[in-house]
């Protein structure tokens, strides 16, 4: 399905760069294992760098980090025979790591010779004078995760909601970087016990929660809420009687609303990529036709 | 090169590769179990389960947990071989060969043993004279060489490194052929079983890449299950057997047969303490259906109970207890689950951690369950259930019922078990404390032994290994202090928990001094005073301190002289110096030809006052007095004069000084008085200008004080205060109108920004 809808273009997360507490050094983690041949697909490799790993590194280490990331990425992509022109670097940098991160990006650009894209969080669009604009060819605005994941059953959808998004969109036209847009193509269920968030499950779907043998709906809340009627295992999760599940998802209508909202504020750009972001390997809740319709907004 | 610890055939089939190490999972907060808990699992639960005692911030409880999959079975392997080789080899040498020698090294050692190599490479043990027979040597080395080759695919390090090429090598078919040949050839059960284990493990790793790529991978051609089943009964059910079983479980897990996988993991879990951690880590029921099937696979009650225990510690203690109790009320596997159930309830949430008087929430169904089992009394340790039920009721506030359960427990307590007795005593004391309505002399007599005991535990005069007493200790201190306070007995209340306000009244200090000085203290008073943090000298110091700010110098000196160490400590700067800009660090760093202590400072004040009375050096002497009275306030360089444990030692802002003492420690009125007297005695206009400026500092400080003390500002932080717009005051005006031609005037324009902006104001 991916091939059919997204111009055969795939953003693929190859590994994370994390701070390893035991080893006291910055190391790669979660290396990609590919389960199907990637031939014929345009792949943009994605590398996620935790802010913690930047915090724990000295500015002078950025060159060698760029080199190591390049070497590992080259090795992994060569193994999969992936040819690529762009690399996406994903990092939620902060004011104190900004200088180091930007040094890393400049070095990485020079070593790889590729076009670089950097992910941009909403707060970074809103306060560019504080967080800076990364020295890359393009930014990818992550138009999701705008609220807090909370046990409050009346809280707005934390993945996307119009009200929270509106606080950021006004700053969009002034951002000094061409922007692609990433829209949330995922959902999750938040497990709540004794008014505390216990866990987040991408794999527990609305369909699972609709099983009336196991759950009963709690009506009158801002999002879908279900209460467990018994204690049981489900998809590797353990659910206790009385647990509440808050389902936060994106259906066609809310995705269309998000697309429309963000498109109104974007500076004009030829060949804008719209990236649909999904988590791990859950089934896509939308169909090819919907995605084509949405892309018409841009 | 990355550090890879290659060890000998020691990996267990972890179902979750990449998650084998200790996970630091900070849940609620960074508190230690002993801080909030009154209920020690050590008292009730078999030590082999200790890694699974409830821990709110780490994966495993305790400090002696070995969670390294590569070394976990070293000890066992070493001992197995030692026994098999009739101790003809020293264990140290054996360990070198087993765990830290490369393939080449092992080969050299073998060739040397056979006499085919003359010189033994450095670091390798010489086995020629060891007593090892040729046959033993051949068997051992042949196996070890082959096993070493298997490490290439079986021993991995779960951390990724930048330079690492591949984490695991695909098993080479020739190794399999060699293993088979050796397995067929050997008749000796010990070695044959090890080759069998190697073959099972080989089969696991051989199919692993394919299963990792697609877990639903078609028919099982690995031969692992056949190999396992065909020979499992030919060998003893020892550690090697269960490790092979672990790979069988891993095989099923990778093929998504979770029912079988979890069942086999539970058998491994039950076999030994070494195997508990990896088996529990790998145990992952997915759906209620596969969990039910695991239970059906269990061949008997005991196996079912093991499954329930694992399920309980991973996910649901209550449900597990209910089911195990149905199967066998006497099962020892209930113990761990009950301790976890209780310890989990005890964990404070954020609110109750901040406020210990908040009642902990206990779910009614947890109480009902523990009650039911305790009342039935048919478990292995009925006293344990009675204590647990009593404790839950106590937490819930049902003191009467709690007491009944404790009484029942008392009749059943095992004899000569110090920890258990201490645990019982602690719970009883805690209940007594929460039921205490009014403390009279009877109650005091009753409490003597227990509050002495808690103080002994605190001071390590009595140690009971494993006992968790911190919570009881802090609850006793705050509980007794609060009750005495409610009864209006501030003296006793402050013995347990001292408050600053208490020391603001001199009669309180006198009463405390009498109590401390009493020669015929009651046993309760003696016990109570073990909780009191101050000594007689501290109280004299406090009284002297207050007199200094009333300028009662002689009386203050008399008290300081009785205060011991307190009045002998050195001040950080010369308190008789004054400066235009307050700079404490500059004063601390300045050369001090004379170091003042509190007492020498006071004696100097006394001498200066004597000179003033005699009319000598009036300008200088008044100026010195002004400086010293300035410096012993918050704004001066001698703050450590008034900063004590009683008055609060760590206030860096005026608003952090306790309200009871804030007027004395912040007011610059006395200093101002002496600056003005110095001005009257001054001979030059420069001197007068200086005195006026110093008085201006005092005046401004008192304006700050008024702002700090305004009730409307009570909740503000120091950075919330803005003094840009305060009134300039009368001394600034005097300076401007009278002294603008003096050299000193120019100096203060340079040094004091406030004054400069005042002067420049249009």
CB nearest A27 (choices: B160, B286, B290):
B160
Distance to chain A for B362, nearest Cα, Å: 11
Q: Provide φ and ψ at B285, rounded to 5°.
A: -60, 145
**Which residues in chain B are closer than 8 Å to A35, comparing Cβ atoms?**
213-214
**Distance between CA atoms of residues B338 and B367, nearest Å:** 12
Residue in B closest to A73 by C-alpha: B162
Say if the Cβ atoms of A28 and B285 lie within 8 Å: no
Contacts of B502 (CB under 8 A, 6+ apart): B490, B494, B508
Say if the Cβ atoms of A233 and B288 lie within 8 Å: yes
Structure tokens at B260: 């079988």
Q: Where are the domains of chain A?
A: 2-186+249-295, 191-245
For an interface test with A, give the residue of B160, B211, B292, B350 to mutate (most A CBs within 10 A): B160
More confident residue, B541 or A249: B541
B532/A contact by beta carbon, under 8 A: no
Contacts of B745 (CB under 8 A, 6+ apart): B689, B735, B739
Residue in B closest to A32 by C-alpha: B213
**Distance between CA atoms of residues B244 and B506, nearest Å:** 78
B162/A contact by beta carbon, under 8 A: yes
What is residue B10's predicted lDDT score, i.e. its pLDDT?
Answer: 28
The string of DSSP codes covering A157-195 is PSS--HHHHHHHHTTGGG-SS-EEEEEE---EEEEEETT
Residue in A closest to B167 by C-alpha: A31
Contacts of B623 (CB under 8 A, 6+ apart): B578, B674, B675, B678, B691
B23/A contact by beta carbon, under 8 A: no
Nearest partner of B221 among B242, B206, B239, judged by Cα: B206
**Which residues in chain A are closer than 8 Å to B290, comparing Cβ atoms?**
233
Say if the Cβ atoms of A31 and B314 lie within 8 Å: no
Structure tokens at B574: 């010369």
Question: Which region among A268-277, B250-259, B692-701 has the lowest average model confidence (pLDDT)?
Answer: A268-277
Say if the Cβ atoms of B288 and A238 lie within 8 Å: no
What is residue A297's predicted lDDT score, i.e. its pLDDT?
Answer: 60
Tell me the pLDDT band of B26, cut-offs 50, 70 and 90. Answer: very low
Question: Which region among B22-36, B69-83, B337-351, B422-436 has the lowest average model confidence (pLDDT)?
Answer: B22-36
Residue in A closest to B159 by C-alpha: A29
Residue in A closest to B28 by C-alpha: A196
What is residue A280's predicted lDDT score, i.e. its pLDDT?
Answer: 45
Residues A43-58 have a mean pLDDT of 93
Q: How many CB pairs under 8 A join A and B?
A: 46
Residue in A closest to B258 by C-alpha: A236
The phi-psi region of residue B404 (left if phi > 0; otherwise alpha if psi is between -120 and 50; otherwise beta) is: alpha
Residues B73-85 have a mean pLDDT of 95
**Which residues in chain A are closer than 8 Å to B212, comparing Cβ atoms?**
33
For the stretch B507-537, pLDDT in tens is 999 999 999 999 999 999 999 999 999 999 9
What is residue B164's predicted lDDT score, i.e. its pLDDT?
Answer: 53
Say if the Cβ atoms of B160 and A31 lie within 8 Å: yes
SS3 at position B10:
coil
What is residue A5's predicted lDDT score, i.e. its pLDDT?
Answer: 45
- Average pLDDT score over chain A: 85
> Is there a contact between A153 and A218 (Cβ–Cβ < 8 Å)?
yes
Strand partners, A237: A234
**Which residues in chain A are closer than 8 Å to B361, comparing Cβ atoms?**
194
Say if the Cβ atoms of B287 and A20 lie within 8 Å: no
- B685 pLDDT higher than 50: yes
Contacts of B32 (CB under 8 A, 6+ apart): B57
B235/A contact by beta carbon, under 8 A: no
> Would strands A179-184 and A138-142 be described as parallel, antiparallel, or unpaired?
parallel
**Distance between CA atoms of residues B413 and B425, nearest Å:** 11
Say if the Cβ atoms of A33 and B315 lie within 8 Å: no
Nearest partner of A43 among A13, A5, A75, judged by Cα: A13
- B38 pLDDT higher than 50: yes
**Distance between CA atoms of residues B96 and B76, nearest Å:** 15
What is residue A167's predicted lDDT score, i.e. its pLDDT?
Answer: 87
Residues 354-373 of B with CB under 8 A from A: 361
**Which residues in chain B are closer than 8 Å to A27, comparing Cβ atoms?**
159-162
> Would strands A179-184 and A274-277 be described as parallel, antiparallel, or unpaired?
parallel
**Which residues in chain A are closer than 8 Å to B17, comparing Cβ atoms?**
none
What is residue A286's predicted lDDT score, i.e. its pLDDT?
Answer: 42
Q: Is B750 buried (19+), middle (13-18) or exposed (0-12) by CB count in 10 A?
A: exposed
Say if the Cβ atoms of B316 and A240 lie within 8 Å: yes
Contacts of B161 (CB under 8 A, 6+ apart): A27, A28, B2
Say if the Cβ atoms of A27 and B162 lie within 8 Å: yes
CB nearest A72 (choices: B162, B212, B285):
B162
**Distance between CA atoms of residues A108 and A65, nearest Å:** 9
- A30 pLDDT higher than 90: no
For the stretch B598-644, pLDDT in tens is 999 999 999 999 999 999 999 999 999 999 999 999 999 999 999 99
> Is there a contact between A46 and A17 (Cβ–Cβ < 8 Å)?
no
More confident residue, A259 or B83: B83
Interface of A with B (CB under 8 A): 15, 20-23, 27-31, 33, 35, 68, 71-72, 194, 196, 231-236, 238, 240
What is residue B154's predicted lDDT score, i.e. its pLDDT?
Answer: 86
What is residue B357's predicted lDDT score, i.e. its pLDDT?
Answer: 64
Name residue, tokens 């807090």. A148
- B438 pLDDT higher than 50: yes
What is residue A293's predicted lDDT score, i.e. its pLDDT?
Answer: 54
What is residue B520's predicted lDDT score, i.e. its pLDDT?
Answer: 96
More confident residue, B216 or B610: B610
For the stretch A186-220, pLDDT in tens is 889 999 998 889 999 988 999 999 999 999 999 88
More confident residue, A78 or B265: B265
For the stretch B15-24, pLDDT in tens is 222 222 233 3
What is residue A3's predicted lDDT score, i.e. its pLDDT?
Answer: 40
> Is there a contact between B605 and B556 (Cβ–Cβ < 8 Å)?
no
**Which residues in chain A are closer than 8 Å to B159, comparing Cβ atoms?**
20, 22-23, 27
Angle at A207 between CA A204 and CA A212, to 5 degrees: 105
More confident residue, B208 or B718: B208
What is residue A34's predicted lDDT score, i.e. its pLDDT?
Answer: 64
Helices B224-231 and B189-213 cross at an angle (nearest 10°) of 160
Q: Provide φ and ψ at B316, rounded to 5°.
A: -155, 90
Residues 41-70 of B with CB under 8 A from A: none
CB nearest A236 (choices: B162, B284, B349):
B284
Residue in A closest to B350 by C-alpha: A196
Helices B506-517 and B536-548 cross at an angle (nearest 10°) of 160
- B155 pLDDT higher than 60: yes
Q: Is B578 buried (19+), middle (13-18) or exposed (0-12) by CB count in 10 A?
A: buried
- Average pLDDT score over chain B: 90
Most distant CA atoms of chain B, gap in Å: 116
Residue in A closest to B22 by C-alpha: A22
- B3 pLDDT higher than 50: no
Nearest partner of A147 among A128, A169, A162, judged by Cα: A162
Q: Percent of chain A, pLDDT > 90?
A: 45
Helix intervals (H) in chain A: 2-5, 51-55, 62-79, 98-112, 122-126, 128-131, 162-169, 206-209, 252-263, 288-295
In this structure, the dihedral spanned by the alpha carbons of residues A30, B15, B6 and B133, taken in order and rounded to 10 degrees, is -170
What is residue A35's predicted lDDT score, i.e. its pLDDT?
Answer: 58
Nearest partner of B4 among B112, B146, B152, judged by Cα: B152
**Distance between CA atoms of residues B632 and B627, nearest Å:** 9
CB nearest B316 (choices: A68, A194, A238):
A238
SS3 at position B57:
coil
Name residue, tokens 């829209």. A183
Structure tokens at B153: 């695919």
**Which residues in chain B are closer than 8 Å to A229, comparing Cβ atoms?**
none
What is residue B60's predicted lDDT score, i.e. its pLDDT?
Answer: 85
- For B453, B477, B496, B499, the CA distances from B530, given in Å and listed in that order, are 11, 11, 9, 17
**Which residues in chain B are closer than 8 Å to A235, comparing Cβ atoms?**
286-287
What is residue B160's predicted lDDT score, i.e. its pLDDT?
Answer: 65
What is residue A270's predicted lDDT score, i.e. its pLDDT?
Answer: 62
B20/A contact by beta carbon, under 8 A: no
CB nearest A233 (choices: B159, B213, B286):
B286
- Give the pTM: 0.81
The string of DSSP codes covering B292-312 is HHHHHH--SHHHHHHHHHHHH
For the stretch B658-682, pLDDT in tens is 988 999 999 999 999 999 999 999 9
**Distance between CA atoms of residues B132 and A218, nearest Å:** 74
Query: A2-186+249-295 maps to which CATH number?
Result: 3.20.20.80
Nearest partner of A77 among A122, A121, A32, judged by Cα: A32
What is residue B8's predicted lDDT score, i.e. its pLDDT?
Answer: 29
**Which residues in chain B are closer than 8 Å to A31, comparing Cβ atoms?**
160
SS3 at position A276:
strand
- B153 pLDDT higher than 90: no
> Is there a contact between B463 and B539 (Cβ–Cβ < 8 Å)?
no
Q: According to the 3-state scheme, what is the secondary structure of B96-143?
A: HHHHCCCHHHHHHHHHHHHCCCCCCCCCCCCCCCCCCCHHHHHHHHHH
For an interface test with A, give the residue of B26, B288, B352 to mutate (most A CBs within 10 A): B288
CB nearest B162 (choices: A28, A33, A234):
A28
CB nearest B160 (choices: A29, A71, A236):
A29
> Would strands A138-142 and A115-120 be described as parallel, antiparallel, or unpaired?
parallel
CB nearest B21 (choices: A22, A29, A68):
A22
Nearest partner of B179 among B207, B155, B143, B208, judged by Cα: B143
Residue in A closest to B290 by C-alpha: A233
Residues 170-189 of B with CB under 8 A from A: none
C-alpha neighbours within 13 Å on the C-beta side of residue A270 = 0
Tell me the pLDDT band of B317, cut-offs 50, 70 and 90. Answer: very high
Host H or E run for residue B80: helix B74-84
Strand partners, A86: A115
Question: Which region among B186-200, B222-236, B377-391, B737-751 has the lowest average model confidence (pLDDT)?
Answer: B737-751
**Distance between CA atoms of residues A272 and A269, nearest Å:** 6
Tell me the pLDDT band of A12, cut-offs 50, 70 and 90. Answer: confident
B212/A contact by beta carbon, under 8 A: yes
Residue in B closest to A195 by C-alpha: B349
């Amino acid at each position: 399905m991916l091939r059919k809808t997204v111009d055969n273009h795939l953003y693929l997360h190859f590994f994370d760069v994390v701070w390893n507490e035991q080893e006291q050094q910055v190391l790669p983690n979660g290396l990609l294992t590919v389960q199907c041949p990637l031939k014929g697909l345009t792949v943009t490799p994605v590398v996620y760098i935790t802010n913690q790993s930047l915090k724990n590194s000295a500015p002078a280490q950025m060159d060698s980090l760029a080199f190591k990331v390049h070497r590992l990425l080259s090795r992994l992509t060569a193994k999969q025979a992936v040819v690529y022109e762009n690399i996406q670097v994903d990092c939620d940098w902060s004011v104190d790591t900004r200088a180091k991160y930007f040094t890393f990006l400049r070095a990485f650009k020079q070593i790889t010779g590729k076009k670089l894209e950097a992910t941009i969080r909403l707060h970074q669009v809103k306060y560019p004078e504080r967080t800076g604009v990364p020295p890359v060819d393009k930014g990818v605005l992550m138009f999701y995760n705008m609220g807090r994941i909370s046990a409050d059953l009346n809280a707005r959808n934390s993945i996307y909601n119009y009200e929270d998004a509106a606080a950021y969109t006004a700053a969009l036209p002034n951002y000094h970087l061409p922007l692609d847009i990433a829209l949330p193509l995922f959902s999750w269920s938040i497990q709540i016990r004794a008014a505390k968030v216990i866990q987040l499950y991408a794999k527990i779907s609305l369909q699972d929660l609709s099983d009336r043998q196991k759950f009963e709906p709690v009506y009158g809340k801002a999002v879908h809420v279900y209460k467990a009627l018994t204690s049981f295992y489900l998809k590797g999760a353990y659910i206790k009687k009385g647990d509440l599940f808050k389902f936060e998802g994106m259906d066609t209508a809310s995705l269309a609303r998000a697309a429309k909202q963000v498109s109104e504020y974007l500076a004009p750009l030829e060949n804008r990529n719209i990236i649909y972001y999904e988590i791990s390997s859950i089934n896509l809740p939308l169909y090819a036709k919907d995605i084509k319709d949405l892309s018409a907004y841009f | 090169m990355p550090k890879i610890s290659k060890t000998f055939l020691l990996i267990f089939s972890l179902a979750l590769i990449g998650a084998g190490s200790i996970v630091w999972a900070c849940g609620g907060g960074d508190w230690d179990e002993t801080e909030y808990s009154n209920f020690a699992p050590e008292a009730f639960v078999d030590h082999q389960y200790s890694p699974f005692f409830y821990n709110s911030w780490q994966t495993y409880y305790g400090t002696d947990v070995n969670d390294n999959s590569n070394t976990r079975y070293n000890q066992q392997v070493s001992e197995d071989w030692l026994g098999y080789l009739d101790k003809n080899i020293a264990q140290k040498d054996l360990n070198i060969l087993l765990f830290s020698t490369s393939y080449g090294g092992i080969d050299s050692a073998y060739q040397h043993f056979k006499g085919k190599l003359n010189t033994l490479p450095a670091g390798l043990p010489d086995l020629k004279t060891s007593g090892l027979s040729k046959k033993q040597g051949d068997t051992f080395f042949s196996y070890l060489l082959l096993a070493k080759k298997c490490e290439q695919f079986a021993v991995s390090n779960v951390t990724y490194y930048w330079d690492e090429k591949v984490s695991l090598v695909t098993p080479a078919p020739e190794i399999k052929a060699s293993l088979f040949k050796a397995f067929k050839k050997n008749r000796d059960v010990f070695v044959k079983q090890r080759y069998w284990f190697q073959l099972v493990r080989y089969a696991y790793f051989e199919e692993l890449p394919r299963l990792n790529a697609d877990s639903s991978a078609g028919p099982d051609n690995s031969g692992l299950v056949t190999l396992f089943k065909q020979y499992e009964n030919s060998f003893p059910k020892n550690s090697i057997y269960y490790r092979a079983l672990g790979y069988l479980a891993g095989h099923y897990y990778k093929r998504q047969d979770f029912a079988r996988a979890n069942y086999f993991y539970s058998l491994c879990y039950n076999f030994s303490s070494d195997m508990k951690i990896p088996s529990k880590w790998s145990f992952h029921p997915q759906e209620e259906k596969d969990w039910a099937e695991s239970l059906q696979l269990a061949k008997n009650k005991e196996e079912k109970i093991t499954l329930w225990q694992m399920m309980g510690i991973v996910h649901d203690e209550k449900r597990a207890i209910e089911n195990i109790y149905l199967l066998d009320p006497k099962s020892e596997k209930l113990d761990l689950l009950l301790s976890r159930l209780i310890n989990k309830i005890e964990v404070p949430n954020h609110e109750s951690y901040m406020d210990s008087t908040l009642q902990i929430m206990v779910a009614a169904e947890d109480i009902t369950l523990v009650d039911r089992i305790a009342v039935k009394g048919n478990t292995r340790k009925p006293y344990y259930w009675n204590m647990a039920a009593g404790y839950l009721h106590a937490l819930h506030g049902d003191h009467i019922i709690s007491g009944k359960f404790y009484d029942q427990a008392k009749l059943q307590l095992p004899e000569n078990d110090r920890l258990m007795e201490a645990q019982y005593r602690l719970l009883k004391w805690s209940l007594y404390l929460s039921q205490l309505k009014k403390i009279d002399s009877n109650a005091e007599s009753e409490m003597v032994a227990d509050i002495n005991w808690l103080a002994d535990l605190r001071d390590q005069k009595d140690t009971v290994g494993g006992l968790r007493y911190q919570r009881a200790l802090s609850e006793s201190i705050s509980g007794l202090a609060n009750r005495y306070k409610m009864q209006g007995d501030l003296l006793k209340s402050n013995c347990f928990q001292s408050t600053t306000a208490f020391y603001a009244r001199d009669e309180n200090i006198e009463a405390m001094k009498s109590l401390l000085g009493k020669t015929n203290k009651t046993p309760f008073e003696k016990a109570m005073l073990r909780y009191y943090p101050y000594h007689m000298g501290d109280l004299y110091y406090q009284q002297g301190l207050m007199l200094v700010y009333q300028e009662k110098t002689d009386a203050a000196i008399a008290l300081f002289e009785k205060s011991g160490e307190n009045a002998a400590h050195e001040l950080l700067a010369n308190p008789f110096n004054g400066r235009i800009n307050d700079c404490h660090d500059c004063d601390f760093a300045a050369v001090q030809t004379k170091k003042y202590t509190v007492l020498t400072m006071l004696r100097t004040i006394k001498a200066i006052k004597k000179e003033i009375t005699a009319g000598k050096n009036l300008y200088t002497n008044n100026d010195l007095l002004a400086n010293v009275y300035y410096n012993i306030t918050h704004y001066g360089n001698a703050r450590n004069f008034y900063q004590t444990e009683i008055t609060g030692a760590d206030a860096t802002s005026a608003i952090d000084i306790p309200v009871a003492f804030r007027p004395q420690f912040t007011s610059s009125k006395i200093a101002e008085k002496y600056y003005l007297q110095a001005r009257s005695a001054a001979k030059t206009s420069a001197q007068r200008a200086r005195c006026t400026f110093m008085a201006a500092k005092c005046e401004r400080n008192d304006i700050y004080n008024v702002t700090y003390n305004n009730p409307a500002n009570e909740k503000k932080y120091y950075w919330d205060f803005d003094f840009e717009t305060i009134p300039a005051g009368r001394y600034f005006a005097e300076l401007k109108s009278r002294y603008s031609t003096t050299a000193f005037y120019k100096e203060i324009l340079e040094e004091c920004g406030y004054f400069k902006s005042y002067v420049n104001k249009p």
